[in-house]
Structure 1
Amino acid sequence: MTHPPESGSRRFSRRRVLALLGAGGSVGLAGCGTGSGDVRYGDERSVDLPTTVDTNASNASAASAAAASAQLEGDAYAVQLDALALRDHGMVVRDDYRGAVVQGSIENTGHQRIELVEVRARVYNSDGEQLGRYLDSTDDLAAGSTWSFEIVVLEDPADIASYDVAVLGSLA
Structure 2
Amino acid sequence: MRRTEPSSRRYVLGLLGTSAAAVFAGCSDVVGDNAPTYVEGTVEDAGDEERSPEEMVAAEALAEQEVNEGITELDALSLVDHEFVIEDDFRGPTVQGTVENVGDDRIQLLEVRVRVYNDDGELLGRYLDVGGDLDAGDRWAFEVVLLESPAEIDRYEIAVLGTPA
TM-score, normalised with respect to structure 2: 0.77
Partner of 2:20: none
Q: CA deviation at 1:48?
A: 1.8
> 1:73-112 counterparts in 2 under 5 A?
73-112=66-105
| Other structure's SS at 2:57 match | helix
User: Which position in structure 2 is the counterpart of 1:41?
Assistant: 38
**How many equivalent residue pairs?**
134
Measure the CA separation in 2 of the matches of 1:112 and 1:45. 29
The counterpart of 2:153, out of the listed 148, 156, 160, is 160
SS at 2:34's partner residue? coil
Aligned counterpart, 1:51: 47
Q: Percent of aligned positions with the same letter in both sequences?
A: 49
| Aligned amino acid, residue 148 of structure 1 | A
Shift of 1:40: 1.4
Q: Segments of 4+ in structure 1 off by > 4 A?
A: none
Q: Which runs of 5+ in 1 are unaligned?
A: 1-34
* Largest Rg, 1 or 2: 1
The one of 65, 86, 94 aligned to 2:58: 65
Q: Are residues 1:118 and 2:111 paired? A: yes
Q: CA RMSD in A?
A: 1.4
Distance in 2 (CA, whole Å) between partners of 1:38 and 1:164 is 13
Counterpart residue identity of residue 104, structure 2: H
Q: 1:113: how far off?
A: 0.5
CA contact (8 A) 2:41 2:158 kept: no
Distance across 1 between alignment mates of 2:66 and 2:145: 13
One-letter identity of the residue aligned with 1:107: E
Q: 1:67 deviation in Å? A: 0.3
